[in-house]
Chain A
Amino acid sequence: MAMEITQVLLSAQSPDGHTRTLAEANLKQFQEQNLPLFLLSLSVELSSEQKPPESRRLAGIILKNSLDAKDAVRKEELTQRWVSVDPSVKSQIKESLLRTLGSSVSDARQTSSQVIAKVASIEVPRREWQELIGLLLNNMTQPDAPAPLKQSTLEALGYVCEEVSPQDLEQDQVNAILTAVVQGMNQTEHSSEVRLAAVKALYNALDFAQTNFENEVERNFIMKVVCETTVSKESEIRQAAIECLVSIASTYYEYLEPYMQTLFGLTANAVRGDEEPVALQAIEFWSSICDEEIQIQEEFGEDNGESSSPHSNFIKQALPTLVPLMLETLLKQEEDQDQEDGVWNLSMAGGTCLGLIARTVGDAVVPLVMPFVENNITKGDWRSREAATFAFGSILEGPSIEKLARLVHSGLEFLLNAMKDQNSHVKDTTAWTLGRIFEFLHSAAGEYPILTATNLPHIMSVLLESIRDAPNVAEKVCGAIYFLAQGFEDAGSSSSMLTPYLGDVVSALLSTADRTDPSNVRLRSSAYETLNEIVRCGSIPETSNMVAHLLHEIMNRLSKTLELHIASSEDREKQGDLQALLCGVLQVILQKLSNSNETKPIILQSADQMMILFLQVFACRSSTVHEEAMLAIGALAYATGPEFAKYMQEFYKYLEMGLQNFEEYQVCSISVGVVGDICRALDDKVLPYCDGIMSQLLKDLSSPMLHRSVKPPIFSCFGDIALAIGEHFEKYVPYVIPMLQGAAELCSHLDVNDDDMQEYGNQLRRGIFEAYSGILQGFKGPKAALMVPCASPLLSFIEAVVRDKSRDEEVTKAAVAVLGDLADTLGPNTKILFKDCTFHMELLGECFRSDNDQLKETATWTQGMIQRVLVS
């Protein structure tokens, strides 16, 4: 029998902290002592009409939180606990929940519909609570059902559809839900609350309607009802109906043809005349159509002429009317929209849609947009000038370079002058447009050079001037410089036109990063990332002095972050963010300078200092390591080689801390990668640290909490360690081999129909092969015999992988390599195995037929190794 908990629930919401804490502790104790009774009591509270609404609401919320959690592990735990509750208790709870849908208290009804969906999300996939849908539909069909009951029932149906997947419901259940929902949308019969709940439920149910959309009669009916609902008198209902159209556009694109004429009319009216939230959804409808057509084009390759277009060309057909519709919206800017985050209005959505239209149809958009640009760009009011510029910037991706190059040439000078416009918004958009020109049209090696020795001086002086403008403008200027530098990356020759300006550009970016204007949080990271691009794309040795100076400046800045006064966790976070940006620059510099023997000494001279800084950055935090500093250390290890040994003693504890942190799996994954870097830098000098590292890696692998993406890199890391320490790896073999064999077993059980799992399976296989390769090559010599017992299982695993159609080329390469390693290290021991199998010949044949030279070379080596075994 349920317990009376009203008072505790009320106390838990008391303004008095002490009372609250006590009540929360009481609830927790109750929950731990007797979960079924606790849940039952909550449901009774929620369903009791005589109880105060406050206690009922909280009861519902606690009930909901006892069934679901964001964290996947916690969620699974809650699911198991619910499953193990006595069925009679569960059915009492569910009965209370369903009863509450008819409550006179709206809070109780709403909470109950959410809890019902949570229970359904656990039970329906297990083929339990099969009567739920029927019971809910019953509420809808009772002739005397009150409106509030219908509303909350529709909400419950909507939530249930959101929680469960289409395969969990039978088609007749889906049909019944759709019928109930569509009837609920009927204007003449229902109140606006019921109709709104119905449209929202329909939105969630659309994913279930595949079969219904395939059927023309049912599809026509659904579309008719949705279209009618887009012109309801309540704007919230109109908005929800167009949201349904957006979802239909992306889920059922292929069925839209007969309705497009109507849909264009409806959405055009909404864009032109409806309230903003409705108009925004109408624009989103067209953006979603663009997304679909772009995706289809990408999947099927560029269309080979008019006749063989892979999709219905809705955008192309609507182009003459659609483009003007979007151009109109561009003039509806808000005063300070570029200085505030979180704004989303018609001009922004319209410009976004125009950009997508350009990507969908390419050249065809240009003649429709250019007259608007030319008419407005010189007008007196800033809205016209900004809209014209935004329109031009939006169509720079999609059309051919041939088509755009002439326009850009004749417009560039104008744009550069517009960076002195009196309106900040115009300058912002102009700078962004310049960035887009450089991003999509500028390539030093390209056929239509946009940047020439003649226009570059003007461009650079404008950019260096405007980077000091308002933060939002400066951020766009950073973007322009970023793509400008990128376009010179493939210049090929040792000298780039940009080099003479780099000194000024770098100091301008450093000053920009130092700006203290508070209004643009992205400016600082934009400035540093632009700096990175300059370093990355610069040609060595031309820029090596500049980079060396920058190295010292950045180290200086990093050292200053250590002196920052930290008073709050917010200060700590800011310090960490800045350190991340600076370590990022150091990574790029390290990689750039390590690439050439001439510049490597620059790093080596500063290596000690850099390492001290990184260690200090680590020391700023207690619980977790700094990811970017960790990555920078990986880059440093490659540059220093065996010299890195002297840092190990200090560094080791942070490395271990990173490896232990499997809750933050990126940190763990980065640390695992750095172990590999260090192994390659130190070779057998890494030996003193291997016990610690190996035991941590093995611990990670045994943890059920470890994010699966970290497993493949850990396996590869075993290979790195084994290769570095050779026969000293012997003592880890009894632990590592079972792990590898377990993972190999797992590979055969992955769901091949799931793309993500297929990709994961390939990563896992490669990791396993790389582990074996490292171990086998590391043991080549007197200890080789240790691996003899693994040979046969490994060969079977390779064969299984070779037979698997989902393997990618990287896996194939790792497979053929490990096959050679097996023959190379174990020699005549494997003769009997190879003599009686033939799959390796097919594999080698496949490799020889491939276009990948590396693969062929590896296969040649493997063939030699196997041959040697066979003739031995």
Chain B
Amino acid sequence: MSLRPTTRAEARKKSYKVAVDAEEARWRREDVLVEMRRSKREENLTKKRCEAGPHHLGPPPTHACGMKIDNLSEMAEGAYSEDPAVQSSVITQFRRLLSDGAHIEEVVKAGIVPRVVEFILRHEAPMLQIKTALPVLRRLIHLNDEEVLVDACWAISQLSRGSKDRIQAVIEAGVCPKLVELLSHPSHKVLVPALRTLGNIVTGNDVQTQAVIDANIVSPLVQLLQHAEFSVRKEAFWAISNAIHGGSNCQIHCGALSVKHIRFLVCQGCIGPLCDLLAYPAPSINAVCMECLDKILEVGEANKHLGITAGRNLYAQMICDCDGFNKIESLLAHGNVVIYNMAVNILERFWVDDEEDIQDFD
């Protein structure tokens, strides 16, 4: 409905020689408050989201033993105090002891590490504090106590989650070589959080991914992907898929480095285990698997155009050799439409020339 003549005149009058628009100023003031609310709400939620869920940390130990420091057992009790102020001051003292390194054995024996780790996770979201938490954790992952290792690895995995800044802080703390070393640890309880951390790091930028590749992650990762028990395999799979997708978070900059990473992963034998997972009965895993193979095939295609592979997509050939082609083909019978579409897409893009009868798939 067009405006009545009187309404139009009123609106013009209102905008005639306006000096200070008090109404707009008031509106803007309220808007600032609404914006502030929104960001505070977001901040509080983020803080809460960084707190570990209940299923991460082992149960708190029930007793402490063999102290060489006078008040260690008292301090240990304080760590479980109801009073948050007592708790906080005790934990701070423990952290100091752990950072010094001098009394590290005693502190571990006091069974207090899980509590310290839990505390770090609960209170240390902001970047600066991550940097102060990591030296403690770096010491802890060099210990031989399995329980401590588990807790410390989980803590690092939590801290490494989220932004590139956090990932950078973790890399700079120098924990990557030790984490890669831990990939040969016999216990899956250690393997899972170590893999989780490394998997988090490769969600970062190319340079960050390069840092873990330089720490020789790939070969043990491929090993785990082939031979470990399934909870570990899935974790390794997730880390590999992140490495392959490293470029997908920043498509514009997805340059030479991520292509290089993918070539390296293929050389180290990742195609075989990926093809195996195509047959795993979970659509979410199948889908991620196909995304990975798709990326690999794209690099294979690029290699072909570079003229270094005698006009063939060698990676496609390798996937066929690992029975991948047949497995993708059998996914066409999958009831899930997303899976079906992905399978069709891969087959059409990379094999349609060879397979005249691709039409039959539809």
Contact surface of A with B, Cβ cutoff 8 Å: 206-207, 243, 246-247, 250-251, 280-281, 284, 287-288, 338, 342, 344, 348-349, 351-352, 428-429, 431-432, 435, 475-476, 478-480, 482, 522, 525-526, 529-530, 532-533, 584, 587-588, 591, 631, 634-635, 638, 670, 673, 676-677, 680, 716, 719-720, 723, 770, 773-774, 777-778, 780-782, 784, 817, 820-821, 824-825, 827-828, 834-838, 841-842, 848-849, 853, 856-857, 860-861, 864, 867-868, 870-872
Contacts and interface: CB of A to CB of B under 8 A. Distances in A.
Given A284-B8, A857-B162, A820 B49 contact: yes
Contacts of A861: 49, 161-162
A243 B203 contact: no
A635 B44 contact: no
Contacts of A480: 19
B12 interface: yes
A717 to B, nearest CB: 10
Interface of B: 1-3, 5, 8-9, 12-13, 15-20, 22, 25-26, 29-30, 32-34, 36-37, 40-41, 44-45, 48-49, 51, 53-55, 161-163, 192, 196, 200, 203, 231, 234-235, 238, 248-249, 251, 282-285, 287-288, 336, 338-339
B20 A525 contact: yes
Given A530-B20, A631-B33, A723-B44, A827 B53 contact: yes
B45 A817 contact: yes
A861 B17 CA distance: 51
* Chain A CB within 10 A, most for which of B9, B44, B234: B44
Contacts of B51: 780
Nearest to B12: A352
Nearest to B163: A857
Contact of B161 (A281, A428, A780, A864): A864
Given A247-B2, A723-B44, A821 B22 contact: no
Q: Which 4 A-B pairs have the closest CB atoms?
A: A479-B19, A526-B20, A777-B48, A838-B338
A848 B53 contact: no
Contacts of A723: 44-45, 48
B85 to A, nearest CB: 13
Given A243-B5, A246-B8, A834-B284, 16 more contacts: A206-B2, A478-B20, A482-B19, A482-B20, A525-B20, A529-B22, A532-B29, A780-B48, A821-B49, A824-B53, A825-B53, A838-B287, A841-B284, A841-B287, A842-B338, A849-B248
Nearest to B15: A352
A673 B336 CA distance: 44
Contacts of A841: 284, 287-288, 338
Given A344-B12, A861-B162, A478 B338 contact: no
Contacts of A584: 26, 29
A530 B163 CA distance: 41
Nearest to A355: B15
B235 to A, nearest CB: 6
A526 B338 contact: no
A281 B4 CA distance: 12
Contacts of A351: 16
A315 to B, nearest CB: 17
Contacts of B44: 680, 723
Contacts of A784: 54
Mostly, the A contact residues are helix
B249 A780 contact: no
Contacts of A635: 33
Contacts of B283: 835-836, 838
A389 to B, nearest CB: 11
A860 B33 contact: no
B163 A867 contact: no
Contacts of B161: 860-861, 864
Contacts of A478: 19-20
A723 B47 CA distance: 11
A533 B8 contact: no
A677 B37 contact: yes
Contact of A352 (B16, B34, B251): B16
B338 A525 contact: no
Contacts of B48: 723, 777-778, 780
Contacts of A719: 41
B204 to A, nearest CB: 10
B93 to A, nearest CB: 25
A207 B1 contact: yes
B19 A720 contact: no
Nearest to A280: B9
A428 B34 CA distance: 36
B185 to A, nearest CB: 17
Contacts of A835: 282-284
A780 B53 contact: yes
Given A824-B53, A871-B192, A849 B9 contact: no
Given A207-B2, A532-B25, A720-B41, A479 B20 contact: yes
Contacts of A838: 283-284, 287, 336, 338-339
A300 B16 CA distance: 27
A557 to B, nearest CB: 17
B2 A251 contact: yes
* Chain A CB within 10 A, most for which of B17, B19, B45, B284: B19
Contacts of B284: 834-835, 837-838, 841, 870
A591 to B, nearest CB: 6
Nearest to A673: B37
Nearest to A343: B13
A344 B55 contact: no
B124 to A, nearest CB: 16
A856 B235 CA distance: 21
A777 B45 contact: yes
B33 A770 contact: no
B16 A828 contact: no
Nearest to B24: A529
A461 B241 CA distance: 68
B19 A435 contact: yes
A284 B5 CA distance: 9
Contacts of B22: 522, 525-526, 529
A773 B42 CA distance: 10
A864 B25 contact: no
Contacts of A834: 284
A677 to B, nearest CB: 7
B251 A680 contact: no
Contact of B238 (A431, A587, A871): A871
Given A676-B41, A723-B44, A827-B53, A587 B16 contact: no
Given A482-B20, A871-B192, A591 B36 contact: yes
A235 to B, nearest CB: 15
A384 to B, nearest CB: 18
8 contacts: A284-B9, A479-B18, A631-B33, A856-B249, A861-B161, A867-B238, A871-B192, A871-B238
Nearest to B281: A835
Contacts of B5: 243, 246, 281, 284
B241 to A, nearest CB: 10
Contacts of A849: 248, 251
Given A349-B12, A864-B161, A587 B33 contact: yes
A348 B18 CA distance: 12
A680 B38 CA distance: 11
A849 B49 CA distance: 23
A465 to B, nearest CB: 17
A872 B231 CA distance: 7
A774 B40 CA distance: 13
B19 A432 contact: yes
A634 B33 contact: yes
Contacts of B238: 867, 871
Nearest to A720: B41
A780 B50 CA distance: 11
Nearest to B21: A529
A717 B33 CA distance: 15
B17 A476 contact: yes
A848 B25 CA distance: 37
Contact of A871 (B19, B25, B162, B234): B234
